[in-house]
Amino acid sequence: MEITDTGILCSGIKEGKLGLALAKCSGNVAGLFTKNSIKAAPVRICEENIADGKIEGLIVNSGNANAFTGEKGLEDAMEMCKIAAELLKCNTKDIAIASTGVIGRKLDMEWIRKKAVEVYHDLGNSKQHADKFGKAIMTTDKFLKKAHSEKAKISAVAKGAGMIAPNLATMLCFIFTTAKFDSGELYEMLKTAAENSFNRLTVDGDTSTNDTVLLISTCKDKVDRDMFSEELTKVCRSLAYQIARDGEGATRVFTVRVMGAEDDEIAARIAKAVASSLLVKTAIFGRDPNWGRIVAAVGYTANVDEKISISFLANSEVTLVDRGIILGNEEKAKKLMEENEEFEILIDLHRGTGEGFAIGCDLSHDYVKLNSAYTT
């Protein structure tokens, strides 16, 4: 199921590092934005424009984040909305906008104006149109992240992995659906879904200036709310895993699941610390089930004791430490890590009923290569 199967029209264009994408999508909208206090201009304008929950169109550019660009940046973002609104014949305030790319450079508004007209004349609802839209929003992505739910009538695309790329901002995610919900309902369900997917993802811990997730409904179908909410979370979870898999240089994606904590908040904090630990990330790149580094990361995050259990799970389950007793199963765990591109690290603190999880990827030579080779 492509994004165009939800009744939207779209297209896009990519020239070198620059891209422009346009969508005609009449309906309700809800959005989540970066928590970075230095918000890019398009984020600020988009937040304003979708505040009434209504949308007519979406304009996205790649290659330039329009971030740290001052007043001129805000003017340019507003101008982009105006360009889209004139083409789509709607109110400027009904245009959603997103940008991704280099920070601190002025937009080439001439290029954007020209390309917007071209893309507008190419709008359509075929798979090819969806592909063009997807291609136009990507930056250093190795592939476009896509997920859908037939029964909840959701189709979504995403790009990026936090601030994975050299000086580039951004995770962008556009979720389209025909399921009829008002914008308040969409917002609630999107928040829950993001909390259990994107917000659990840690690639390098950096939060970009441009992160944007939009949920857009063309309101054509009646769909059960609980089912929709569940499917939406699944779609977002799938995208989060794909983003981790495309984390720069990543060779393994893993979930850290913590149970037995005093409460859920502590469990989530520990899971995130373990998934973010450079020593854990490099050990996983080396296929080393280095539970000592896991123990250390748990210990510097929260108040725990040695009665911890640690297991690795994929096609099989290997317990390394059982309530503080070291079982000596390193070879088995190493084999599991070699054979599975995705696995879970399960940590049981045996202290309470708190649970939480985080999604991470390993840290490879290529991460350093990609992120150091670039010159501003």
Binding site for a copy of itself (CB under 8 A): 35-39, 67-68, 70, 102-104, 163, 166-167, 169, 204-209, 277-279, 282-283, 285-286, 288-293, 295-300, 302-306, 324, 326, 330, 334, 363-365, 367-369, 371-376
Distance of closest approach, residue 274 Cβ to a copy of itself, in angstroms: 11
Distance of closest approach, residue 26 Cβ to a copy of itself, in angstroms: 34
* Alpha helices by DSSP H, the chain: 41-49, 70-88, 109-121, 127-137, 183-195, 225-245, 264-276, 278-285, 291-301, 330-339, 365-372
Sequence-distant (6+) residues with CB within 8 A of 282 are 362, 363
Among 366, 29, 338, residue whose Cα is nearest residue 183? 29
Which residue matches tokens 């979870």?
237
Pick 63 or 289: Cβ nearer a copy of itself: 289
- Give Cα 54 to chain centroid, integer Å: 23
Distance of closest approach, residue 104 Cβ to a copy of itself, in angstroms: 5
Burial of 116 per CB tally in 10 Å (0-12, 13-18, 19+): buried
Distance of closest approach, residue 127 Cβ to a copy of itself, in angstroms: 35
Pick 231 or 246: Cβ nearer a copy of itself: 246
Tokens (6 digits) for 334: 């190493």
Are the C-beta atoms of 140 and 250 separated by less than 8 Å?
Answer: no
Tokens (6 digits) for 301: 């995050």
**Rounded CA gap, 359 and 256, in Å?**
6
Pick 55 or 333: Cβ nearer a copy of itself: 333
At 357 the three-state DSSP class reads: strand
Distance of closest approach, residue 15 Cβ to a copy of itself, in angstroms: 22
Pick 177 or 208: Cβ nearer a copy of itself: 208
Are the C-beta atoms of 29 and 213 separated by less than 8 Å?
Answer: no
Whether 170 is a known active-site residue: answer: yes
- The catalytic residue among 170, 177, 202, 301 is 170
**Rounded CA gap, 315 and 233, in Å?**
24
Pick 150 or 341: Cβ nearer a copy of itself: 341
What are the catalytic residues?
170
